[in-house]
Structure 1
Amino acid sequence: MTQTHDKAVRPREGADAGVPVDEPAQPYRIRRSSDAIRFAASVTGLAVVMLLVSVAQGTTHGLHSDIQEGTAHAPRMLLSLATLVSSFGVLAAPIAFGIVRLFHKDGTRVAIALLAAMIAFGITVGLDDLSVRAAPGGVLDSLIWGGTETAPIHTDIAPVIAFVSAVGMAGRIRWQAATWTMIGLAALTGLTAAYASVAALAATYFLGRAIGHGTLYAVGTPNPRPPGTAVVAALERLGLRPVRAVRLDGTPDSGEETRRYGVVLAAGPADGDTAPDRDAGEWDLEVRVLDRDQQTAGLLYRVWRLLRLRSTTTGRALRSLRRSLEQESLMAYAVAAAGVRTPRLVGTSEVGTEAALLAYEHVPGRRLADVPDEEITGALLTDVWRQFRAMQAGRLAHRRLQDGAVAVGADGRAYITDLRAGETAVGDLALRLDLAQLLTTLALRVGAERAVRTAAEVLGGEALAAAVPLLQPVALSRATRTALRRDRELLTGIREQIVRLKPETEVAPLRLERFRPRTIFSIVALSIAAYIVIPQVASLDLAAMASAATWHWAAAALGGAALTYLAAAFMLMGFVPERLPLGRTVLVQLAASFVKLVAPAAVGGVAVNTRYLQRSGVRPGLAVASVGASQLVGLVTHVLLLIMFGFLTGSTTKATQDLAPSRTIVIVVLSLGLLAGLALTVPRVRRVVASRLKSMFSGVVPRLVDVLQTPKKLFTGMGGTLLLTVGFVLCLDASIRAFGGSLPLTTVVVVFLTANAVGSAAPTPGGLGAVEGALTLALTISGLTAETATSAVLLYRLLTLWLPVLPGWAAFTYLQRREAL
């Protein structure tokens, strides 16, 4: 795509040799993010192959047998010819390509590729020798077919793949086809001769690719970016007459996705022109250069956003060089056609095979980011909003409306720039996201009140109200979210200003995320929990365990579990001055047991109880404070009981009643305290903990004062708190006795309190995995056999976690129908 300047001009002859370009020296080698991404992808692929062959050896061996049987019917002459051709061609094709590159003065790239091939050869030979001696019959051996008589990884193919990956055949279709055809033929002959399996070839491919791209990234690839002189030459091919150019964006490794050049054009007639006298910075053109290797900059972040957010809220994660050039060009023309004030696009052109340029008319002025706060007047803000209104009317989404994307010209007017991420013909959601972004950007500079007031004057209150559900950090750019850390109440302030204009505005946040990061964390935690719990269950003979259990103790354990729901109801009722019916409150606690399976243990019960209080007529703030008060008292009681019974466990004989603390308990408590202290030294962890405690316990003290004025309520709340612990301890103790075990009651109390604390902190639903592991370990350390401890823990968790699920679901459904939840 090539556009030309409006003026009738012709290029100067010999200009590419005489036009001075002021720019820092280009680095000889660069590290491309695309190489790092390909290396990581190859390592991931290798890990997946190893995992598959370790869990599906029968399938891989069967696949290899099928391939052998299929090739057995092929003509022997054809197979012999393929073997002969691949034996020479697998080396001849890469060597020939390397010689061609040497003639093109690309010896550095060939040397790096040879280094990668040598590394691959050494690693594959080492792996082959190691697998024969150290792991016969293991994972490496399962990569092959034929036992330890053959090598699991092709030492003749892996170095070739590493060489091809590092030498750079991109864009050379014929060479790529010839080289990969030879590699494919070599792999086929390996299969037919029972030299290696499909899994071995897959492992060889990923290993070679990983070594090739890893070497490229570690050593650095020769810089393919065209210099400024090539950029000037491309401008001359557009019919322009540059006489001077200077690099504007700092050093070549500044990390920016594009390079920028300021260019002065010749004035006067074409023949005999000279460079005009201008002050520094007075350019005719500002040229943006898109380098091919920079198209993957920030790719991992963009992919993460694409996966995490709904598709309508994000742009493309990856664009080719051609696609980026066409997209920005289209956006520039569309913005100008919509009547938005923006630098005019003069022309576009490719710069060799590795870059492209966009030449804009230079607008003297400054970016909004460089304008002091006191110079940002109401007239300027109004002008910014007018340009934004024109973009919205043209259904154009900018997607990067930060203060660097707004320029303030020397005439004091606003210009919209940096259109590389923009899109045309977008939907309403993308337009509202742009509005939320610009509101936040301007509020960071001039405050929420001025940003909203000037926007309302131009857009109207109705348009601003549409942005309120999108005023959430996840909807904003990364730079804006970073800036918001210095003013965490800014988004709340913007919402409040808009609500004052339109009191009926819907303020509930719009769901933009497909999933939240903590969902991934919970899935990982659940996988670890399954890894801990499943082997414990699989190692037990459940039938023998059930027949050996003492059922009257199991019934006692069931009674203790049932007692906990009554205790939890008393605990909640005691910290709510309003009257609550006992029966319905017990049902709410039973419903909370169902919610535990879809939320962490410390979250589900709080949410259900808060919702129940609100439905019972308690105002939202007081409902949160009541539940927070019960949680706070429960936490303090838990810690005090743990300390008290930790000391009691030290009285191991009748003769020593000196309450000396158990050494194990002291070590555990001190270790937990040390870990908690170290975690709180991290600012981010400290902020998360502080915000969580603030949201949970805000308004708690006034609520506790209300409860203290009613002794009956205080007795009910404290009694429910203690009774809750008693119920769980009775259930655990009876579960131990049901399988013939016995421990001192003080030890059982300490074990329960410790495991309960671990389960409350775990992010898994119901503390799954964490509670089982903590209980089993603690009971085993306390003197129970591993089989008895595991059996007791499984019975305890069956009664307290799994058995209440169906009754809890029934209670949850019933309460919802009665509008109690």
Structure 2
Amino acid sequence: MTQTHDERTERATRSDPGTAATAAVTVDEPARPNRVRRSSDAFRFAASLLGLAAVILLVSFAQQTTRGIQTDITEGTAHAPHALLALATLASSFGVLAVPVAFAVERLLHRDGQRVAVALLAATIAFALTVLLDGWEIPAAPGGVLDSLIWGGTGTAPLHTDITPVIAFVTAVGMAGRTRWQTAAWLMIGLAALTGLTAAYASVAALTATYFLGRAIGHGTLYAVGAPNTRPPGAAVLGALERLGLRPARAERVPAPADEPRCYLVGVARDPDGSPADASPADATGPALPCGEWQLRVHVLDRDLQTAGLPYRLWRLARLRSGAPRRALRSLRRSLEQESLMSYAVTASGVRTPRLVATAEVGTEAALLAYAHVPGRRLDDVPDEELTDALLTDVWRQFRRLQAARLAHRRLEGDAILVDDEGRPHLVELGAGEIAAGDLLLRLDLAQLLTTLALRVGPERAVRTASGVLGEKALASAVPLLQRVALSRGTRSAVRHDKELLTRIREQILRLEPESEAPPIRLERFRPRTIFSIVALTAAAYIVVPQLGSVDLPHLLATANWWWALVGLAAAAATYPAAAWMVMGFVPERLSLWRTVLVQLAASFVKLVAPAAVTGVALNTRYLQRSGVRPGPAVASVGASQLAGMVIHILLLIMFGFLTGSAANATRDLAPSRTVVIALLALAVVASVALAVPRVRRLVAGRLRDMFSGVVPRLVDVLQSPGKMLTGFGGTILLTVGFVVCLDASIRAFGGELPWTAVAVVFLTANAVGSAAPTPGGLGAVEASLALALTISGLPAETAASAVLLFRLLTFWLPVLPGWGAFTYLQRKKAI
């Protein structure tokens, strides 16, 4: 049921007596939801699950270590005074339940039953789950596998049924800000865990897993059901102001995004002398209003919003070299202190900014900062015609004072500059700022403000007005930092629409200071492609280990003819120059053969995380652009090589399929040529059905139009040059020949033999399937189609499987490590 404003005010007054004096003041704000889903609960739920998984993995790989720890603890507690252990056991047995019950009663007396109900739900789920795991799941594992591998011994309980519900209850009920209750609850849980260790019915691993499981259930329940809305209403905020000696006369809520701090405009009664009534900070400057009020702009920091944007802050903290230690997650108290300190420092430096009048905590779930209200508009809302050179120069003057005091704002976007009704700029949004900032942070601020103003007035005006205040040398220090990674998220998004903006800013600065050109400073701790490389290697290990584990390697090594394997290796190595010639033949510009070969080798590493056709096109296009080919011709050249390869592939498939069928016309077995026909018919049916859908038909038509608009003219250029034509089409044919020879050598290495035409059809068919498959490098699809086609062609199943494994080892897995080396080398040389 939705509460009326009066009901909400009355409830807030009961929960906070300080609001009684301001209960008559109307707070114009939207209705508060009874429950909210907090992002912090989702983050903590995920972190608890990761902790649980880490415990399971750690104990699985370190069984002896965990058992040793358990033994050491048991031996150590054996020497402890028995009376002390008995006292701890007695206290924990009583207190582990008594403390949560007492806190629940205390919350019920404060009419906070919803919080208790959610916590009871979490405790119930935790109890049911632990009983289920202890009584059914783990004993059902064959030989007590989970019990012995995860928990460290069959004599211990896998999960501590007594304290898991208590941990879930304490987590869900929310004791943040109530230090005594928190201390008492976790002390009792710790004593109960110690009791379990000394009695040898719970291991260290089991207790650690119990903790993470209880926390996961508590936070998961809170996020699923929604936590009670603990944000104090406007009446409580006004009550906090009243206790500070600021008597509110009226208040209204300022609209703001859901993940931003709440903001109120509060009119404070003024005495006849013009000062706020009964206010100690009576000398604060605020505009005198006709109604005899002094207006405040009150920012409210809610505890549950402290984790808003946490993933992005963690990413920036890990990736950007800012030169200053920062916390991605700050407590409510630290956030209040951080912004207060920054505001006082900015005011003391002489920078024009709204004065901070008062700060206070609002209960245990929020805090407020009251600023003298300055009527005006944010820079983003100021029309272009009002952005005069005088205003921009004044902005740079305020910035110069900020820099002189070594204060870093860290977020100088358009909404961080307030232009008052007299046209004067004020710096606001100081919550992310830093005092005693280093040179790098100050230069980052300069680069950010240059970009912010250049987005509004253009690089020429932004640089010209800045140079008149800061000087050419100061601007030159920002040149190496004009990188997208150095900018705020909103500014980076805006720069994407004008990709040459940063270059134009640099050019304007270099015109003033020609000798200041310097290479960009390395601001990234790591690049996204580094993560890409790690993920690729991890995926490769995850995929290849099970495949190798299912093969009888001793038998494979004993029966193989490794001379044929060496032939296959040589043929596989020959495919990389062939692929390089294939690309070079369709590019009129001159390319280095060695570097082009390295690009093809690097593609063998990149295709671990994407389909082979996609990675080849993307990497070659990038390489051509880095080699000086314009983007349009680069895409057209790669497209022309792919189109030529597809046409030759189809022609070879038809030709070899016909030859294979003619040589085997007397046999009753299913020949590969018939398989090709069936596959082509199936593809035709699928294509017909897909093209019957208008949206698909329009998409295909658009893609074909784009391809022929650029690719066909490129093919015509190649056909006019005999040398290029020979290189391109010759490389395409040699590429296929190399793979066919490799597959044939892999078959012969295990004593098999097929007509070379049949081998060609098998490879061409499997390669088509692999190119169409959405898996990285056609994994799974290529192996299955090769094994099936070789078996149909007459090879024994064991020989076919061994030949496929060797072929994929030579053409897919062995090139991974050299491919990674080539990929890293080309990155270092900025060739891709």
TM-score band, normalised by shorter chain: 0.7 to 0.9
1:129-528 matches, within 5 Å, as 129-131=135-137, 134-137=140-143, 140-142=146-148, 143-144=150-151, 147=154, 151-249=157-255, 254-269=258-273, 278=289, 284-312=295-323, 315-495=326-506, 497-498=508-509, 506=517, 509-528=520-539
Cα distance in 1 for partners of 2:139, 2:194 equals 27
User: For the Cα contact (< 8 Å) 2:360–2:367, is it kept in 1?
Assistant: yes
CA distance in 2 between partners of 1:208 and 1:810 (Å): 45
Can you list the C-alpha shifts for 1:399-423, whole angstroms capped at 9, x where unaligned?
1112111111111121111111111
User: In structure 2, the residue corresponding to 1:782 is in which secondary structure?
Assistant: helix
**Are the aligned partners of 1:344 and 1:360 in contact in 2 as well (CA < 8 Å)?**
yes
Are residues 70 and 751 of structure 1, via their aligned partners in 2, closer, same or farther at CA, if it must alter by over 3 Å? farther
- Counterpart of 1:745 in structure 2: which amino acid? V
Deviation at 1:662, TM superposition (A): 3.6
Give distance in 2, aligned partners of 1:378 and 1:488. Answer: 25
Does the CA-based 8 Å contact 2:627-2:831 persist in structure 1?
Answer: no
> Match for residue 663 of structure 1?
678
Q: 1:410 is aligned with what amino acid?
A: D
Report the counterpart of residue 113 of structure 1 in structure 2: 119
Q: CA deviation at 1:13?
A: 14
Q: Does residue 99 of the first structure (1) align with residue 105 of the second (2)?
A: yes
- Aligned partners of 1:648, 1:713: CA distance in 2, in Å? 25
- Name the residue aligned to 2:43: 37
Q: What's the CA shift string for 1:304-343, capped at 9, x where partnerless? A: 2212222438843122223222222222232233332221
Is residue 2:102 matched to residue 1:88? Answer: no
Q: Is the 8 A contact 1:341 1:387 kept in 2?
A: yes
2:8 — aligned with what?
none
Distance 1:456 1:406 in 2: 19
Alpha carbons of 1:331 and 1:802: their partners in 2 closer, same or farther (altered >3 Å)?
same
- Residues 218, 586 of structure 1: alpha-carbon distance in 2 compared, 3 angstrom cutoff: closer
Q: Deviations over 1:607-631 (max 9, x none)?
A: 99999999xxxx9524988976763
Counterparts in 2 of 1:318 and 1:670: CA distance versus 1, 3 Å: farther
In 2, the alpha carbon distance for the partners of 1:813 and 1:518 equals 10
- Please tell me whether the aligned partners of residues 268 and 276 of structure 2 are also in contact (alpha carbons under 8 angstroms): no
Gapped runs of 5+ residues in structure 1? 1-11
CA apart distance, 1:302 = 1.1
Give SS of 1:411's match: coil
Separation of aligned partners in 2, 1:356 and 1:771: 56
Choose from 730, 747, 751 the match for 2:761.
747
Most deviating of 470-479 and 786-795: 786-795
SS in structure 1 of the partner of residue 415 of structure 2: coil
Which stretch shifts more, 240-249 or 619-628? 619-628
Contact residue 296 and residue 371 of structure 2 kept, 8 A: yes
Tell me how far apart the structure 2 counterparts of residues 270 and 312 of structure 1 sit (CA, whole Å): 46
Displacement of 1:635 = 1.4
Further displaced range: 596-605 or 168-177: 596-605
* Whole-angstrom CA distance in 2 between matches of 1:801 and 1:137: 39
Secondary structure of 1:534 counterpart: helix
Q: Quote the residue 1:8 is aligned against.
A: none
What CA distance in whole angstroms lies between the structure 1 residues aligned with 2:643 and 2:518?
Answer: 36
- Matched residue of 1:397: which SS? coil
Q: What is the identity, as a one-letter code, of the residue corresponding to 1:663?
A: I
Give the Cα separation in 1 of the matches to 2:578 and 2:337.
67
**1:533 to partner: Cα distance:** 0.9
Aligned residue identity for 1:86 = S
SS of 2:360 mapped into structure 1: strand
Asked whether the equivalents of residues 590 and 804 of structure 1 are also in contact (C-alpha less than 8 Å), the reply is no
CA deviation vs aligned residue, 1:44-75 (integer Å, no higher than 9, x gap): 22222233344444544454344444445555
Unaligned ranges ≥5, structure 2: 1-17, 279-286, 666-670
TM-score (ref. length: structure 1) = 0.80
Deviations 1:703-725 (A, max 9, x none): 76665443233223322232233
Q: Say which is worse superposed, 265-274 or 536-545, in terms of deviation.
A: 265-274
Structure 2 CA distance, aligned partners of 1:570 and 1:138?
59
| TM-score with structure 2 setting the length | 0.80
Q: CA deviation at 1:268?
A: 0.8
> C-alpha displacement at 1:800, in angstroms?
5.0
* Inter-partner Cα distance in structure 1 for 2:492 and 2:303: 28
Q: Distance in 1 between matches of 2:504 and 2:594?
A: 40
Letter of the aligned partner of 2:170 in structure 1? V
Supply the AA of the counterpart residue of 1:542.
L
Q: CA deviation at 1:477?
A: 2.1
AA aligned to 1:537 is: L
The one-letter code of the counterpart of 2:724 is: K
Residue pair 2:443, 2:478 contacting (<8 A) in 1 also: yes
Tell me, yes or no, if the aligned pair for 2:247 and 2:269 is still in contact at 8 Å: yes
Distance in structure 2 (CA, Å) of the matches to 1:97 and 1:815: 62
| Contact preservation (8 Å) 2:263, 2:300 | yes
Say which of 641, 644, 650 aligns to 1:643.
Answer: 650
CA distance in 2 between partners of 1:501 and 1:698 (Å):
44
Provide closer, same or farther for how the CA distance between residues 217 and 748 of structure 1 changes in structure 2, counting only shifts above 3 A.
same
Q: Does the 8 Å CA contact 2:151/2:158 hold for their aligned counterparts? A: yes
> In 1, Cα distance between the equivalents of 2:819 and 2:106?
73
SS at match of 1:348: strand
1:289 alignment partner, SS class: strand
Letter in 2 for 1:390: R
Amino acid in structure 1 at the alignment position of 2:788 = I
Map of 2:281 onto structure 1: none
1:567–1:399 CA distance, 2 compared to 1 (3 A):
same
Q: Distance in 2 between matches of 1:174 and 1:577?
A: 77
Could you tell which deviates more after superposition, 258-267 or 117-126? 258-267
- The CA distance in 1 between the partners of 2:46 and 2:826, in whole Å, is 50
The equivalences for 1:617-636 within 5 A come to 620-622=627-629, 631-636=638-643
Q: Which residue of structure 2 aligns with residue 125 of structure 1?
A: 131
Residues 472-519 of structure 1 show CA distances to partners (whole Å, capped at 9, x for unaligned) of 433222223344455455445545555555566647554322233343
Deviation at 1:530, TM superposition (A): 1.4
Q: Kindly tell me: are residues 182 and 622 of structure 1, through their superposed partners in 2, closer, same or farther at Cα, counting changes over 3 Å?
A: closer
Q: Counterparts of 2:760 and 2:87 in 1: how far apart (Å)?
A: 81
Cα deviation digits, residues 73-110 of structure 1 (max 9, x gap): 55555544443333222212222232333344433322
How far residue 458 of structure 1 moved from its aligned partner, in angstroms, is 3.9
Q: Determine the C-alpha separation between the residues in 1 that align with 2:672 and 2:545.
A: 42
Deviation, structure 1 residue 571: 4.2
Question: Compared with structure 1, are the counterparts of its residues 806 and 374 closer, same or farther at alpha carbon in structure 2 (3 Å cutoff)?
Answer: closer
Q: Alpha-carbon deviation of 1:638?
A: 2.7
Distance 1:405 1:775, change over 3 A: same
Deviates more, 1:540-549 or 1:292-301: 540-549
SS in 2 for 1:437: helix
Contact 1:145 1:194 in 2 (8 A): no
Mapped to 2, the partners of 1:528 and 1:738 lie a distance apart of 29
Q: Distance in 2 between matches of 1:370 and 1:820?
A: 43
